């Protein structure tokens, strides 16, 4: 069993803290990244941070490369998640 993805490892930032920050300061992805430094190391966490902003979830199953690419392209295009919901959301 895999552990859920819950933080930006490079910057040691928990997604729960990032969500609170983004909500309190009404930040989009770019503002959150600039302000907190999340996603500025290896970048592996970027699709998870984008999903966090879309869904409010803070724990995710590891995304497949295809799902991560889908999240990234959706985030860059500003397109909302489809009706099936976002991939990678960990069960509560």
The residue among 32 and 38 lying less far from ligand FES, judged by its C-beta, is 38
> Do residues 18 and 6 lie in contact, with contact meaning Cβ atoms separated by under 8 Å?
no
The residue among 10 and 16 lying less far from ligand FES, judged by its C-beta, is 10
By CB under 6 A, tell whether 25 contacts ligand FES: no
Pick the binder of ligand FES from 17, 21, 44, 61 (CB under 6 A). Answer: 44
Q: Which helix (H) or strand (E) holds 77?
A: helix 65-77
Measured from the CB of residue 14, what is the shortest distance to ligand FES in angstroms? 11
Pick the binder of ligand FES from 25, 42, 62, 69 (CB under 6 A). Answer: 42
Region of residue 78 (left: phi > 0; alpha: psi -120 to 50; beta: else): left
By CB under 6 A, tell whether 10 contacts ligand FES: yes
Contacts of 77 (CB under 8 A, 6+ apart): none
By CB under 6 A, tell whether 9 contacts ligand FES: yes
* Cα distance from N-terminal residue to C-terminal residue, the chain: 15
């Amino acid at each position: 069993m895999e552990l859920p993805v819950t933080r930006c490892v490079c910057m040691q930032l928990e997604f729960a803290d990032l969500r609170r920050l983004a909500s309190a300061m009404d930040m989009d992805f770019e503002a959150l990244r600039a302000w907190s430094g999340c996603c500025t190391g290896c970048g592996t966490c970027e699709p998870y941070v984008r999903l966090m902003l879309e869904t409010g979830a803070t724990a995710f199953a590891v995304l497949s490369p295809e799902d991560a690419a889908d999240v990234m392209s959706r985030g860059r295009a500003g397109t909302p998640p489809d009706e099936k919901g976002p991939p990678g959301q960990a069960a509560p």
